[in-house]
Structure 1
Amino acid sequence: MGDLQRSLPGPELKLGSFSITGVQMIVAAAAARGLDTQELLDRVGLPEAALVESDGWIPEVVEWRLWDEAARMLRDPLFGLHVGEAVVDSQCPEILYHAARVCPTVGQSLHRLVRFFSVFHRRTRVCLETDGALARFVKDGGTRVVPCPHGTLAVLGNVLLRLRGLLGGPFPLREVWFTHSRPADLDEYERIFAAPVRFDKPCNALICDRAQLDWPLPTRSPKLLELLDRHLADIAGLPADDFLDLVRRDLTEHLHEAALNVAHTAKRLGMSQRTLQRRLQDAGRSFQDLFDDVRRELALRHLAAGNLTICEVASRVGFTDLRAFYRAFKRWTGTAPGQYRAHAHAMA
């Protein structure tokens, strides 16, 4: 796992906002365990009337107090993990999870959570990273390490358990990372995640094999997904059509495959080859143009980073012939890979 290590975070933390829908989920889970929710709300300074505003928001620090107080009153140090488990089979009101459910693949489902997580929590960092044969779904890290672990436990536990439910079987993990320190009892972590759990890490993450991102979801529904995407984009204030970004991400994740082509890409995205080509044409692009763009951008990034040999960079961006990579790179930039790397390091 050495390639995925990062520096430990600094003290900076910019606060965000937490949706009232999330508050309702926490309160409902506490009530199901027999907790007096009015007392809980009183203790954290939340009026009961605030729960009626389903499109409202509370400060992130109030969210942390809510998690911590509920955990203290229930004497459950893993309250967040248990909430994440409890709501897996519920009719979750968050449209975000419905969109993730009808995606064509696991990878596209996780991408939906990343792109639209701001409808649930503003400021929290969620991303999907790939590195060689590994993939990592990350919640917070870097300079953003929050002092309350319950929300992270709820999200990572819930995402994993929902994937297992959608797939109708296991979704094995390589490791699970948390930024908080190791607790005395790991039994519940091991029961939920069924994988090695590491603590005091630079981010919170579910780590799996990259190939698992291509696993198809039996619940996929392209037409429903298109409707939900538009609605989510409107809520989040994002551009409605991120189709080019969608294709770019898929190409980036599969550049290392020798058989990468338009037919395989269309299949992973849950559409016909003709539909993919038509939508690209409508956006003013061709598959080959976009393929070249993604290869060039990733090659430039790897060469500037300087942690891979030129041969390794060529392989990462889908070239089996080093001479073909040199020709393509000269066409893209007018210079050789080694010259570009030297210039990038001189400018750093």
Structure 2
Amino acid sequence: MSAATEKGTISAALVEEALLELRRLGHDAEALLRGVGIDPPALAQPGARVPAALYARLWLASVRVLDDEFFAMNRRRMKPGSFAFMARAALGEASVGAALEGALRFLGLVLDDLDPRLSRCGALAEIVLDEPPGPPPRAFTCFTLWLMIHGLACWLAGQRLPILAIDLRSPAPDYDGDYRVMFGPNLNFSRPRSRLLLDARALDQPVRRGKDELRRFLAGAPANILVRYRDPQSLAMRVRAHLRALAPADWPDLEALARHFHMGASTLRRHLAQEGQSYQSLKDQLRRDLAIAHLDGGEPNFAELAFGLGFADASAFYKAFRKWTGATPGQYRTLIRQRGRHAAIVQTARED
């Protein structure tokens, strides 16, 4: 991952994705780019990127031109003010989960082609997109919707809500680097259905925002949902990136990790605590993410998976996985297969 990606910039590929429908409708995309401070010829340079703040300005400019907050990617426009209305309504709920359910119902009314719904199973929660028959929407469409939903949920909770995985029906785009920075590495394409997987316990958190904070949040949108809760420079994210580059059996102890980051163990522990994390919680989260990714990909041997994740034996892995998800590895894999079959049946019925 390049340093540019990590410092709050957006690739030229995503800029072009944002302009696709605007161009198709006959609008002057180059004039729009120049109007927000982006040089159109510079976008054609290899590896070109723009500051996230300029991408946010481009989003707002497209809203004015298209009279649509969703880049004209749906048959029915998402009229300006829709996101603000959704956020105000969500603020009146007691929990993040209740706020999300209300926001998703609202989006289902606003968007004809994407009907998001929230479901829970034990310690897992998923936001599923019920899509009409036919070709899937492009990845950029789904990721823009996830950005709105997840960004709002993070703001309501006052912290980043970790994403366990994202599945999309659409094929992988030519470039997905920005999506992996924004949403995490566990992105899966050409799947039977589109969904975002969360830890259900995060949804039980109270809404921690007030009306004054809402005004500031809306004044800063969409720039604040592009970068505020996706801080790859935080110590926790740097620790995760370091661990992900190693096999779990090679993960260092706290003292060795602190030396890697050129600080004392107590300092590292204190900085992680300030971010609401601990070294043990980060290791647990990463093991959980890796376990779910392997099971979702059809990992057949639980003993090998347990060993690969650094557990002493399969029973320790079973115990930890049940704590993470409320299900055994076998139950979770069966659930994934059942849902995949159900999604295929529903899709076939719609096409018939």
TM-score, normalised relative to structure 1:
0.37
TM-score (norm 2): 0.37
Larger C-alpha radius of gyration, 1 or 2?
A: 1
